């Protein structure tokens, strides 16, 4: 007993040091910081061991890239197919992860029958109302937050032409963002417990588009439309970002009483014969660090999500015809890159709980 008592201070010191040791994964850093660290996923890749093991180890939140979009869920007008989305939910449940839903209303990735159906606004309204209701009720209790409307504004901050606004729309053509308000009302009716987000790109800094997004969200809040947050996609091109402007934009959005999620973060690098310049890898890491800092310094920024996590399956390569790539925290062999370490260090430094 005496030997144990003598050793007790050393044991307590060891346990204290272990508790304060730097986290070794993104997920552990995020858990300690009270932050959601997520990534977009493809259920077809869950059978790849390196993919599924990295996903489970590093992230506490997942979002399907395509598995809950119209063209997957509703390939035929009269039937809903939830199989791929259900795979995402099962994976998340098996690994203690939250599921973020994406997306219910978008002008892209709609099935051919919808665009070529020559529907009236009344019919489009019924179709969209039915879609939001069926999808959200199916996933109620399993999906904690939804991107209700995705990319509703163009780069100048004007309402986009779309099947839901004016081609032919759902009955609010020419009424600005009123169709957006209606979709949020339907979404809240379908699942009152889910957090509802507006998600867009190009509005992360202070510019014409972010001003328009801010004005729209402020108006929706003032009119009592049930909206809980805004997603800032954060696809970063040409290694250009103004972190101070991002932080200022997050501050004004959270001041409206909205949560902010970074939803589709990736930072493309120029490729030279498929190779990355080492100095660009360092610059990429610093930008990842700066974006993480802009979020975690504001308590209203509650989630950071990358659009995929391994360069092996990033959309950047095909989108840029091979001129850009290496945009994510893990390389094609699932090896962590400098960006990975930078993110962990920034989360730990700025928002860590004992």
78: left (phi over 0), alpha (psi -120 to 50) or beta: alpha
Q: Give the pLDDT confidence score for residue 43 in this predicted structure.
A: 98
Q: Which two tokens stand for residue 198?
A: 């507006």
> Is 96 part of any domain?
yes
User: Using CA atoms, how far apart are residues 235 and 192, in angstroms rounded to an integer?
Assistant: 30
Mean pLDDT of the chain: 93
User: Using CA atoms, how far apart are residues 343 and 338, in angstroms rounded to an integer?
Assistant: 9
Whether this prediction's pTM lies above 0.85 is answered by yes
Active-site position among 58, 204, 205, 264: 264
Q: Give the pLDDT confidence score for residue 13 in this predicted structure.
A: 41
Q: How many CA atoms lie within 13 A of 238 on its CB side?
A: 2
> Is 10 part of any domain?
no
Q: What is the per-residue pLDDT across 37-88, written as a single tens digit (0 to 9) for each?
A: 999 999 999 999 999 999 999 999 999 999 999 999 999 998 999 999 999 9
> Is 6 part of any domain?
no
Q: Is the pLDDT of residue 205 over 50?
A: yes
More confident residue, 273 or 130: 130
> Is 180 part of any domain?
yes
Q: Got the DSSP string for 91-132? A: HHHHTT-EEEEEEEE-SSS--HHHHTS---HHHHHHHHHHHH
Active-site position among 65, 151, 204, 268: 151
Q: Is the pLDDT of residue 8 over 90?
A: no
User: Using CA atoms, how far apart are residues 97 and 239, in angstroms rounded to an integer?
Assistant: 31
User: Using CA atoms, how far apart are residues 97 and 30, in angstroms rounded to an integer?
Assistant: 12
Question: What letter does residue 322 receive in the DSSP assignment?
Answer: T
Return the number of other C-beta atoms located less than 10 Å from residue 347's C-beta: 25
CATH number at residue 295: 3.20.20.80
> Is 283 part of any domain?
yes
Q: Is the pLDDT of residue 20 over 60?
A: no
Q: What is the per-residue pLDDT across 148-172, written as a single tens digit (0 to 9) for each?
A: 999 999 999 999 999 999 999 999 9
User: pLDDT category, 12, cuts 50, 70, 90?
Assistant: very low
Q: Is the pLDDT of residue 179 over 80?
A: yes
> Is 259 part of any domain?
yes
> Is 185 part of any domain?
yes
Q: Give the pLDDT confidence score for residue 331 in this predicted structure.
A: 97
Q: Give the pLDDT confidence score for residue 23 in this predicted structure.
A: 77
Q: Give the pLDDT confidence score for residue 350 in this predicted structure.
A: 78
Residue 53 a catalytic site member: no
Q: Is the pLDDT of residue 35 over 60?
A: yes
Full residue range of the structural domain in which residue 308 is found: 24-350
> What mean pLDDT is predicted for residues 310-332?
94
Q: Give the pLDDT confidence score for residue 352 in this predicted structure.
A: 60
> Is 222 part of any domain?
yes
User: pLDDT category, 21, cuts 50, 70, 90?
Assistant: low
Q: Give the pLDDT confidence score for residue 3 in this predicted structure.
A: 46
Residue 151 a catalytic site member: yes
What's the Cα-to-Cα distance from 251 to each of 8, 192, 266, rounded to whole Å? 47, 26, 22
What's the Cα-to-Cα distance from 147 to each of 21, 124, 141, 256, 278, rounded to whole Å? 36, 20, 16, 18, 36
Q: Give the pLDDT confidence score for residue 321 in this predicted structure.
A: 87
Q: Is the pLDDT of residue 2 over 60?
A: no
Residues 347 and 29: beta-carbon distance below 8 Å? yes
Q: Is the pLDDT of residue 6 over 70?
A: no
Number of H helices, E strands in the chain: 13, 11
More confident residue, 247 or 317: 247
Q: Is the pLDDT of residue 4 over 50?
A: no
Peptide bond into 154 cis (omega under 30): no
User: Using CA atoms, how far apart are residues 337 and 306, in angstroms rounded to an integer?
Assistant: 14
Domain count, the chain: 1
Q: Is 19 buried (19+), middle (13-18) or exposed (0-12) by CB count in 10 A?
A: exposed
């Amino acid at each position: 007993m005496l030997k144990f008592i003598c050793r007790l201070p050393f044991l307590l010191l060891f346990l204290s040091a272990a508790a304060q040791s730097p986290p070794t994964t993104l997920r552990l850093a995020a858990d300690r910081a009270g932050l959601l660290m997520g990534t977009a996923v493809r259920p077809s890749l869950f059978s790849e061991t390196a993919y599924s093991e990295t996903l489970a180890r590093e992230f506490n939140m997942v979002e399907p890239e395509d598995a809950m979009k119209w063209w997957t869920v509703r390939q035929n007008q009269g039937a809903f197919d939830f199989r791929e989305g259900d795979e995402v939910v099962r994976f998340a449940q098996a690994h203690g992860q939250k599921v973020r839903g994406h997306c219910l209303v978008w002008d892209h990735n709609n099935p051919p029958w919808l665009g070529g159906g020559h529907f009236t606004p009344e019919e489009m309204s019924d179709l969209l109302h039915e879609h939001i209701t069926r999808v959200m009720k199916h996933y109620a209790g399993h999906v904690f937050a939804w991107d209700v409307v995705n990319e509703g504004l163009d780069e100048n901050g004007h309402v986009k032409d779309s099947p839901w606004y004016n081609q032919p729309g759902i009955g609010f053509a020419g009424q600005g963002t009123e169709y957006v308000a209606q979709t949020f009302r339907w979404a809240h009716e379908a699942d009152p417990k889910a957090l509802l987000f507006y998600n867009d790109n190009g509005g992360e800094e202070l510019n014409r588009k972010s001003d328009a997004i801010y004005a729209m969200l402020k108006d929706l809040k003032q009119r009592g439309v049930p909206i809980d947050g805004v997603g800032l996609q954060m696809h970063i091109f040409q290694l250009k970002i103004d972190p101070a402007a991002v932080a200022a934009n997050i501050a004004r959005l959270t001041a409206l009483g909205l949560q902010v999620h970074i939803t589709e973060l990736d930072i493309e690098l120029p490729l030279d014969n498929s190779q990355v310049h080492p100095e660009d890898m360092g610059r990429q890491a610093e930008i990842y660090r700066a974006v993480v800092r802009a979020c975690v310094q504001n308590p209203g920024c509650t989630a950071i999500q990358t659009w995929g996590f391994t360069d092996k399956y990033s959309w950047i390569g095909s989108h840029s015809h091979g001129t850009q790539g290496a945009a994510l925290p893990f390389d094609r062999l699932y090896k962590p890159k400098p960006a990975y370490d930078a993110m962990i260090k920034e989360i730990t430094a700025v928002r860590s709980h004992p």
